[in-house]
Amino acid sequence: MDALATVKTPAVETPVFFEDGDYRLFGVVHQPVGTPSGAAWVFCHPFAEEKLWAQRVYVSFARTLAARGAWVMRFDAMGNGDSEGQFSAASVDTMLSDIDCAIRYLEGVSGISVRIGLLGLRFGATLAALAAERSPKVGTLVLWEPIVDGAKYMQEMLRINLTTQSAVYKEIRHNREALVRMMRDGATVNIDGYELAYPCYEQATAVNLKEGRKRFAGSCLIIQIGKDGQPVHPDLKVLQGTYPAGDLQSAVEEPFWKEIKRWYRVAPNLFETTLAWMAAR
C-alpha cells in the first residue's frame, strides 16, 4: 500500500471557526474526495511546541484519509494556533471540552450518523484516550506514541525550562521544585515560548492511562514510533491491556514532533501501518 499516493489528490479543505463556551476555536474540515466512506475523524494535536513540529505530518495524513473518502477535522485547542484564548488558561479540562466541541461540529457539517474516530499524537493521543472515556460519540481510537504517564511528561516539560535557564543564565536559577511552587502561587513557567500554568500542570500530572480497565469498548490502535528493532515500551503493553479491543503495533520513524534535521512532510511507515489497520477493521 502506498501511503503517499493520495496525498496529492485534490480535496476541499474549509477553514472554520466554532465555539466552545465564550471563545472560538479554529479548525480545518477536510471533505471526502469521491465517494464518501462513511468514516469521520477528529485529530487531537500534541502539546505546545510538539504541535508545531508535527503540523505538516498531520496535514498530510488528513489529506490522505480524505482522499480515501473520510471526513477529517483538524483544529487548534484554546490558546493554540489561530484559536482564541491564552495558552496559560488552558488545562486538560478545557482541552477535552474543545475535543467534544470539535466532534459535535464535525457531526453537524458532515451529516454522518456513525460514531467519530479520534486520532492523536503524544499528549494529543492521551487527550483522545481521555475523551473516548467520556464521550459515547467516539467509536475508534488511533493513538500515535501516546503519553501514558502525565507526571513524567510534565517533568520533561519543566526540564525544557531548566535547559533554557542554563543556556541563557549559565546556571539554574529555579529548579523544578521551585518552578512548581511558582506555578502554584499563580505564576507561569515558560516552556519553549508557551506559558504553562498550574491548573494545566496539575491536571496533566494526574493523568495515568495505565490505571484501570477502560470503558471505551471500540477498536483502539496504539502505535509506538521509534527506531527499527526498538523494543516495545512496557507502558504501551500495559496500556493495550486496558482496552477490550486494543491493538499495539510499531512504526519506524524519526521523532517528527521534535526539532530534528530531517524535514518531515509525511511519515510513510506510520501512515501505512495506520491505514492497513483501518482497512482491516
DSSP 61-77: HHHHHHHTT-EEEEEPP
Nearest to 200 by CA among 178, 177, 183: 183
Enumerate the domain spans of the chain: 13-149+209-280, 150-206
Across the strands, what pairs with 191?
194
Nearest-angstrom CA–CA distance, 263 and 54: 10
Q: What is the pLDDT of residue 91?
A: 98
- Percentage of residues in the chain with pLDDT exceeding 90? 91
Residues 233-258 pLDDT 10s: 999 999 999 999 999 999 999 999 99
Question: What would the grid cell of residue 248 be?
Answer: 499495539
Cα–Cα distances (Å) from 166 to 171, 197, 215, 260, in that order, read 5, 21, 44, 21
Residues 201-219 pLDDT 10s: 999 999 999 998 999 999 9
Q: Domain 13-149+209-280 is in which class?
A: alpha beta
Nearest-angstrom CA–CA distance, 227 and 65: 25
Confidence of residue 135 (pLDDT cuts 50, 70, 90): very high
Cα–Cα distances (Å) from 246 to 221, 226, 238, 243, in that order, read 6, 20, 10, 5
Confidence of residue 114 (pLDDT cuts 50, 70, 90): confident
Assess whether pLDDT exceeds 50 at residue 5.
no
Assess whether pLDDT exceeds 60 at residue 28.
yes
| Average pLDDT value over all residues in the chain | 95
Q: What is the pLDDT of residue 89?
A: 98
Assess whether pLDDT exceeds 60 at residue 138.
yes
Nearest-angstrom CA–CA distance, 171 and 118: 42
Confidence of residue 8 (pLDDT cuts 50, 70, 90): low
Q: What is the pLDDT of residue 11?
A: 72
Strand 138-144 with 194-196, pairing: unpaired
Q: Is the pTM of this model over 0.85?
A: yes
Confidence of residue 261 (pLDDT cuts 50, 70, 90): confident
Nearest-angstrom CA–CA distance, 50 and 36: 31
Q: Which residues of 81-107 are buried (b: 16+ CB within 10 A; e: fewer)?
A: bebebebbebbbebbbbbbbbbbebbb
Confidence of residue 103 (pLDDT cuts 50, 70, 90): very high
Assess whether pLDDT exceeds 50 at residue 73.
yes
Confidence of residue 281 (pLDDT cuts 50, 70, 90): confident
CA 71 to chain centre: 17
Average pLDDT (56-78) is 98
Across the strands, what pairs with 219?
140
